[in-house]
Structure formats: C-alpha cells, structure tokens
Structure 1
Amino acid sequence: MCGGHPGRHEFANASAGVLFNRTAAVGLTNAYGSLSAGSQYTAMYDTLIKYDPMVFGQQYTWMPTTGSVDGFSFKARVNNSVKYVGRFGGLTATADYSFGGSADSFQSSAAYGGALDYDMGSFAAAVAYDYRNGAINSTGMWTKSRNWSASAREQLGDVTLMGGYEHYLFNPTKGKSVSSALWFGGVRYLIAPQFLATLDTRVHDEPADLLRWTGDAWMGGEAARAPLPISSYEVLDAIVARLADRKLFPNLRHVVFAGHSGGGQVVQRYAVAARNIAALTGEGIDVRYVVASPSTYAYFDAQRPNAQGIAAPFDAAQCSDFNQWKYGMDNRPPYLDDRTPAQLEATYAARRIDYLVGGADDDPQQSALDRTCAAEAQGPQRVARAEAYYRYIQSRHPDGLKQSFHIVPGVGHNGARMLTSVCALAAMFDTQGCEQ
C-alpha cells in the first residue's frame, strides 16, 4: 500500500543515529480500510498535521514542542508498528500499536494510539491519543508519556481558521510526573486566480473589463476571449512578478504551484510554458510544482504509452488530434509558440515537480475524466496515465531529474484528500512521511 514511483529505488540517509530512519511499511487495503505494518507515522501525527496552521513546518509548528520538557519528546514515527485506517463517510478512524524494539519485553519502548477525525467539508474536528513507554532500564522500569489533543478547523471562503488543545504527561518514575498544556491556533489564507468562462459572465453580472475565456481554454494558456487577448499564463506571470518583489515580500523563500484535476492540468502545462520563473529564482526563491490527478499531460514528441505503458510511436490514424496542444506540441498558443519543443522540454526537465495520483482514481468512466481520443492515447484512466507519463519523462532524462511520483493509497478523485495527503504536504511544505 506504500506510494512509490516506478523505476526508482533508494535508501534514505542515516539520521538521528538510526541507519534507516524513514517510513517503510507494507499492507493491504479493501473496502473496510487499510492495515499496514512497519516503521510508520502514528495516528496522532497523521491526524494533527491536518490541523497544524504551519503544516508541521519545522521552524514554526507547535508539534515538535510536544514533550519538549524532557529528552523523551514527541516522536511522529514508530518502529515495528501495526496501523489501521478506516474511512466511514466523513469519519476517519486510525489506530496503531508498536511492539517496541526489545525481543525480551513487549513493554519496553512499546507505543499505541488512536484518533477520530470527522470532516464535514467546511468544518472538521478531531481527537487523538498517543501513549509511549521508554526503554526498560536495569531496574526493570521505564518512563511513560501520554499525549491527547482535540482540534478543529473551519473554512470561511478563502480563509481557514484552525486551532485546538494538547495535553502532555510524562512519568520519569512512578512517583514523579511532568505535565504541560498547550493551546494553539492559526489562520490560513488562500491566494488563487479565478479564470472565468464566457458562460460565467453571461449568468452573473460581472464588470465588462473582467477577463473571460471560451470554455476551459484557460487551462492550456489560450488567450482570453475578451476584453483583451491575454493568455491565462500571463495572469500567472503577473502573480509571479508580484511575489518576486522583495519590497512587498522581503522574507519569501518558497513558491508552490499546486493543483488538482483541472488545476493539475494548469500546473503541469504552466511548468512547461512559464516564462517568468527566473524572477523568483533570481531572488533566491525556491519554486516547485505539485501536479495532482490531472486527466492528461503535455507530451514533447509523438510517442504515447503502448499497452504495457511504455512510450512508443503512436499511430495517428487512431486519433489525428493526439498531438495537438494541450496533449502534445502541435499548434501551441502564442504564449509558448516562441520556443521549440526541445527548448520547452529542457526547461521543464530542470523544474522541481511532484506528480501525485490517488490509488483509487482508476475509473475509466469517472465523470470528470477527459475521454477524448487525444486523452485516451495517454491511457485508459488517471493512474495509468500518470504512471506512463512519469515513466516517459524519466526515460528521456535518466540523470539529474528533480521530479518524483507518488500514488496516494485509497484515494479516488478527491481534491481535498489528495492535497491534504502526506505526500502532497511533503511536496508543498517539506514535511516528513513521503520518503518512499
């Protein structure tokens, strides 16, 4: 059930005095949930990361302070653990048990925990519990710690309010205890462009000078229908230019372009086409792209995946439009027609890009899936198309590619679950948990 990427196998660097200090688990998933075993993140970590205003940003989050009154401290990951995750409508139930690391004592360094997380859409709330034993000492005793928390978040338009309470109790001996309590809270604000179609402006009373596109032409960087022929990618360029202004954002260090489904299509094509990214990188700002579950991808030549998912020359007799932009490089819009496919590919291959797709997003009849012949030339459904495209780009750039691919287990075509998954958070915020 671990997410991974084809054609790439690696060991994590040793850290924290442990040779293999990364997640590694195997398991099974069915309609009743998932059961996994290995070195894994705890129920408390998996739950609270959704309510941390800084998403476990190492310099700012409250989570690493849990238990900081002693050397025991909160550990997000445990070894030799068994974990269950079940989803029942809006409720996610998680439980874990770690057998510790001592062959002669199941209690030495053992740990267990659980969480209930209820997501109603705009509102969500969760409770979590975590219990740990320390390593057994020469007297046959061990330390103990207990954490419990309650948290909530509320979506108000583009603003998300989140906060909660965490309580920590540490027992170094039977007769002593240390406790701490922490209230936390924060606000997130979403900044995103809104691309309107001509239909939107007919239905709603919008200003005449508001840009609008024909249908979903904005996804591929086409020019606006009115009032001026401005590419949707020029709109993104304008946002880039503003973010690069050090007078406005003197402390900005990272910019992430992230999108799911249709948004994922925009991000992937903008990574191909973007002109103005040097304005950010020239200021020392890290730029990355998170492409989650798009219907299709932009290929750089006339190859498409064969029945085995391997790129091979495509028979245009099957679909004469298979290589038209936004599926390929033919008839590109003016915004990117000033560069050759080879130039576009060289720039694209140098970008940091994380491709994500849900493991259950494999329905060839899913309602939002592009089923045109140009799309079908890339594979029958999103998982197959994602795997094939990443294999394609890897084969063309076997060395030095700063791109990765992860399948998120058990997730279908669901933007909220994809973009709050461990791998999406790792891609956007450098959190832990997606090292596979």
Structure 2
Amino acid sequence: MRVLGNSPTLFAVLIVCLLLHVVEAQDEVRERTGAHLFARQLSCSKQKGIESKSKSDPVGAANDVLKIKDVLEADGDLWFSNNLVSGTGDDEQVPWGHGAEFKPTPAALGNYLSGYALIPDSFNGFKLNRSMVFRTEGSKSVKVPFYVNANYDADSIERVVLIWPGQWRDSWKYINIMGNAQRVAETHDQLNIDKSKILLISPMFFNQKDADSGAAGDDELYFKNAGWAVGDTSRGPSGFTNVSSFEVMDFFLDHIFDKSNFPNVKHAVMAGHSMGAQATQRYALFGKPKKAYRDNISYWIGNPGSYTWLDEKYYNSSSSCDSASKWPFGFDHAPKYAEKKAKNKESTISRYGDRRILYSFGLNDNGGQSDRCAPNTQGPNRLARGALYVKSLKSVFGDFPSNQLVDFVECVSHQDYPMMAKFRTLEFVFSSRTD
C-alpha cells in the first residue's frame, strides 16, 4: 500500500502537525486552569474579557454571559465541574494564592445529611464559642454557638466579617477558608490589611439532625433542615421554637456595633457562598439591621443558586409554577420575620437598591439545574440566573444600582475558596477601599 509516495517520514510529520494543531486549540481552553476537563462553552481568554467588562459595565458583561453557547438551554449538555482549579477550600492553595500560607479545614464527626455528632472546637487560630446567650425566657436561656478568632483585642477591631455557612452547615469550614482568604489579602500591599483590626465570626446553624446526633447542646438553637438559609424559625430547644435565623444575624450585628463590645468598629461585611449566598441576598433584602449602623454593612454574595426576585419578569414564566412568586423565590407568603417588609414591597426594594453589595459569579458555574419549577423560572442554571438577575436589577431600578458591584470570575466553577481568594472579593471583604 502506497501512502504519500511511500514516505513514512512525511506521513509522520503530517500527523504530528495535526496533533500540535489540536493541542494548541485545546490549550486556549485549558489556559491556566490545570484541569483535566475543560469548558466547551468559552475559553478562559474570552472569559477574561467578560470579567474585565464586569468591573465597569455589569449589565453589558451579563449580556455577554447570556451569549455563551447553550448557557440558556436547560438540556444544553453544559460542562460543569467542582474541580476546575485547585483549591477547593479543603486541601490546597489556589494558583492566585500569592504565596500565602494555606491551612486545611478540620474534619467533623458526622455529615450534613445524617447530622453532626461532634464539630471542631479549636483550629488554625479559631475557636468555637458556646457561651453566648441569645435569648432568655423566664428561667430558660438559649445560646447560639459561633466560630471566632481565638485571640483578638476588642479595642483594636475596626472591621468584622460575618460569614454564613453553606448547605453543609459547616461554619468551621467557612471561617477557615475566609481566614485563608484574609492571608492572601494581606499579601496585596495595596489593600493595606492590618490583621489585628479584622475579626471573623461564623454562627452555627444546627438543624434537628444535629440535635438528634449530639452536636447541638440541649440549650442551643436549632432549625429544621435548611430553613435557616431562608429566614425560617427555629425548631428547638423547647421554649425557643419561633426564632428566625435572620434574627440571629440581627443579634450578631447588634453585638458587633455595640460600643461596649467593640468600641472602634467601623464596618461589617456579611458574606456567603452558594446556599450561604442565598441567605445573604435574602437578608440584604429583608434583614432589619438598626438604622444607626445600616449604612456600615456590606454584603458579598457568591454563586447563589436562586434569589428572591424583585419583580415578576422571569426568564421562563409559567402559569403552572405557582411557587415562582412565593417565598423564598418571591415576596408572597413570606415568614413572620419578613412579613411586614414583604407587604411594603416597593419601599423594601428601594432600600435594597441602596445596599452595598458585590455579586460574584464563577463563569464556569453552569451547573445547579433544579427539578423545582421556581428556580427554573429564574434561569436554567446558576450562571444564567446570576446574569439574568443582574439584568433584572437594571430593569427594576432604571439603571444598575450605583452602590452595587458585579464580578464575573474567569474559569472558576462552583468553588467557594477560589471565589473568596479572588482580588475583587478580597478588596471588598477585607479592605475599606470600597466601603
């Protein structure tokens, strides 16, 4: 058989050239990710353009996101992975860690599905405080445990970061990875971070499974399932079954801004990723921080799976989806804590427009498809919902709120720590430059 004039050398050269062409095409897509799998929708270099645009033109960047191939297709065979970049928040530093020390997250006994039997007590410069009395009724008191820096001078604290956990209720993880992010922030000289002036706090939101399994003490507040993330009321202990999780955050903000506790605090940042981001968005909308310090709070919202939508102009309206306008996706049937604000919808939305918020979205976070119709009215996946929500804010307010920021993060998926360790998040959470 004759192949190319019976020249095996020429044939081999052509094969090598073809392979090099394929590799070069793939390299653009894998660029700087180190991943074995890579996005089919948009290369990292093109995503970088969207990230850059989001700094000055968030709505324009959102429109670019919505042009990504298949991003609006519910069955578009989108690529999705939790491991796009190293640094999952558990075991290693991210490539943009800037040489900062990374401290692994400790393990708990049990899991979020069956309940925790034992949670970490002291680790990596943090400790679990179980002595804070939240409320007293008659002869009974209830406490809310929380993680906090093990050593700090209250008189030196000027900034507090208040962190929601994610779906796993693992507050120890979230304060630990936020601590890792702070160390990255400290390496950026332009942020001028003084760690002696920053305090991290992450409350524990136990549920009934943790109470049954032993992690929650007999006098510690717990909720039903993941109701804590949407302001639902507590389920125990006995005598304390009517406390909203948002009241818990009100309590901590009151504590933070009480001059007898922290005489020099100037600013607080509420932060959450994924389910914690959903909680942060809903608290930013319905929370009741006191007027005296309301303007001294910022909110970081990273990769939420859904939103309380501000109007009823959904991406995928459906007359058969009655739950689209109901809590926690809409204002109808809001829990007792949010009931008054839900009824005064116009003024509540107006105040939300004044909130200082940074929304951060991973440009490869195109998973999160739901079998419930309400989230799907907001978009077919997390990334699409985020971009559509950004566009909805312009529609609701006439222009994108001047107090709010957007960061579409190139080539990061649904990853908590890689999102937290990005520069714009570090600047927003730890520096006073954007307050």
Question: Could you say what the CA RMSD is over the residues aligned between the two structures, in angstroms?
Answer: 3.6
Q: Paired residue for 1:154?
A: 103
Evaluate the alpha carbon distance shift between residue 35 and residue 349 of structure 1 in structure 2; reply closer, same or farther with a 3 A threshold: closer
> Equivalent residue of 1:394, what SS?
helix
Question: Going by fraction, where is strand more abundant, 1 or 2?
Answer: 1
Q: Paired residue for 1:330?
A: 332
Evaluate the alpha carbon distance shift between residue 32 and residue 190 of structure 1 in structure 2; reply closer, same or farther with a 3 A threshold: same
Cα-to-partner distance string for 1:361-416 (whole Å, 9 max, x where unaligned): 012xx4xx544110111101111100111111111112554112221000000001
Q: Paired residue for 2:282?
A: 269
Give runs of aligned pairs for residues 180-195 of structure 1, distance below 5 A.
190-195=200-205
Cα-to-partner distance string for 1:214-247 (whole Å, 9 max, x where unaligned): 1111111011112311000000000010111122
Which of 308, 323, 328 is the equivalent residue of 1:298?
308
Evaluate the alpha carbon distance shift between residue 414 and residue 253 of structure 1 in structure 2; reply closer, same or farther with a 3 A threshold: same
> Equivalent residue of 1:258, what SS?
strand
Q: Paired residue for 2:364?
A: 360
Q: Which amino acid aligns with 1:315?
A: S
Evaluate the alpha carbon distance shift between residue 126 and residue 272 of structure 1 in structure 2; reply closer, same or farther with a 3 A threshold: closer
Cα-to-partner distance string for 1:28-56 (whole Å, 9 max, x where unaligned): 951243559999xxxxxxxxxxxxxxxxx
Quick check: 2:47–2:411 contact (8 Å CA) kept in 1? Answer: no
Evaluate the alpha carbon distance shift between residue 29 and residue 231 of structure 1 in structure 2; reply closer, same or farther with a 3 A threshold: farther
Q: Does residue 240 of structure 2 align to residue 239 of structure 1?
A: no
> Equivalent residue of 2:201, what SS?
coil
Evaluate the alpha carbon distance shift between residue 121 and residue 217 of structure 1 in structure 2; reply closer, same or farther with a 3 A threshold: closer
Evaluate the alpha carbon distance shift between residue 119 and residue 233 of structure 1 in structure 2; reply closer, same or farther with a 3 A threshold: closer
Q: Does residue 249 of structure 2 align to residue 249 of structure 1?
A: no
Quick check: 2:301–2:357 contact (8 Å CA) kept in 1? Answer: yes
Measured after TM superposition, the shift of residue 266 of structure 1 is 0.4
Q: Which amino acid aligns with 1:31?
A: R
Q: Output the CA distance in 1 between the equivalents of 2:374 and 2:232.
A: 18
Which of 342, 345, 357 is the equivalent residue of 1:341?
345
Quick check: 2:96–2:421 contact (8 Å CA) kept in 1? Answer: no
Q: Does residue 374 of structure 2 align to residue 374 of structure 1?
A: yes
Q: Output the CA distance in 2 between the equivalents of 1:125 and 1:304.
A: 36
Bigger mean CA offset, 381-390 vs 190-199: 190-199
Quick check: 1:322–1:375 contact (8 Å CA) kept in 2? Answer: yes
Q: Paired residue for 2:90?
A: 121
Q: Does residue 409 of structure 2 align to residue 408 of structure 1?
A: yes
Question: Going by fraction, where is helix more abundant, 1 or 2?
Answer: 2
Q: Paired residue for 1:315?
A: 318
Q: Paired residue for 1:144?
A: none
Give runs of aligned pairs for residues 164-179 of structure 1, distance below 5 A.
none
Structure 1 segments unaligned to the other structure (5+ residues): 1-27, 40-88, 93-117, 129-148, 165-183, 307-313
Q: Paired residue for 1:426?
A: 427
Q: Paired residue for 1:221?
A: 231
Measured after TM superposition, the shift of residue 316 of structure 1 is 2.2
Q: Paired residue for 1:390?
A: 390
Measured after TM superposition, the shift of residue 354 of structure 1 is 1.2
Quick check: 2:355–2:404 contact (8 Å CA) kept in 1? Answer: yes
Quick check: 1:316–1:322 contact (8 Å CA) kept in 2? Answer: no
Evaluate the alpha carbon distance shift between residue 205 and residue 150 of structure 1 in structure 2; reply closer, same or farther with a 3 A threshold: closer
> Equivalent residue of 1:236, what SS?
helix
Evaluate the alpha carbon distance shift between residue 299 and residue 91 of structure 1 in structure 2; reply closer, same or farther with a 3 A threshold: closer
> Equivalent residue of 1:418, what SS?
helix
Bigger mean CA offset, 388-397 vs 266-275: 388-397
Q: Which amino acid aligns with 1:203?
A: S
Q: Output the CA distance in 1 between the equivalents of 2:377 and 2:429.
A: 30
Evaluate the alpha carbon distance shift between residue 424 and residue 151 of structure 1 in structure 2; reply closer, same or farther with a 3 A threshold: closer
Quick check: 1:125–1:150 contact (8 Å CA) kept in 2? Answer: no
Q: Paired residue for 1:209?
A: 219
Quick check: 1:126–1:152 contact (8 Å CA) kept in 2? Answer: no
Q: Paired residue for 1:181?
A: none
Structure 2 segments unaligned to the other structure (5+ residues): 1-26, 33-43, 50-82, 105-123, 125-171, 185-192
Q: Output the CA distance in 1 between the equivalents of 2:208 and 2:300.
A: 28
Q: Output the CA distance in 2 between the equivalents of 1:265 and 1:328.
A: 13
Measured after TM superposition, the shift of residue 251 of structure 1 is 1.8
Q: Output the CA distance in 2 between the equivalents of 1:347 and 1:261.
A: 24
Q: Output the CA distance in 2 between the equivalents of 1:240 and 1:390.
A: 27
Quick check: 1:298–1:326 contact (8 Å CA) kept in 2? Answer: yes
Cα-to-partner distance string for 1:277-313 (whole Å, 9 max, x where unaligned): 42424xxx6211111100001013322124xxxxxxx
Cα-to-partner distance string for 1:121-180 (whole Å, 9 max, x where unaligned): 35649899xxxxxxxxxxxxxxxxxxxx9652325265658989xxxxxxxxxxxxxxxx
Evaluate the alpha carbon distance shift between residue 370 and residue 202 of structure 1 in structure 2; reply closer, same or farther with a 3 A threshold: farther
Evaluate the alpha carbon distance shift between residue 404 and residue 371 of structure 1 in structure 2; reply closer, same or farther with a 3 A threshold: farther
Cα-to-partner distance string for 1:239-264 (whole Å, 9 max, x where unaligned): 01011112222221221111100000
Quick check: 2:94–2:418 contact (8 Å CA) kept in 1? Answer: no
Q: Paired residue for 1:258?
A: 271
Alignment length, in residue pairs?
279
> Equivalent residue of 2:101, what SS?
strand
Q: Output the CA distance in 1 between the equivalents of 2:247 and 2:96.
A: 44
Q: Output the CA distance in 1 between the equivalents of 2:357 and 2:323.
A: 27
Evaluate the alpha carbon distance shift between residue 38 and residue 212 of structure 1 in structure 2; reply closer, same or farther with a 3 A threshold: closer
> Equivalent residue of 1:338, what SS?
helix
Q: Output the CA distance in 2 between the equivalents of 1:359 and 1:90.
A: 11
Q: Output the CA distance in 2 between the equivalents of 1:341 and 1:381.
A: 27
Q: Output the CA distance in 1 between the equivalents of 2:199 and 2:268.
A: 15
Higher relative contact order (CA 8 A, sep 6+): 2
Q: Paired residue for 1:196?
A: 206
- Percent identity between the aligned chains? 25
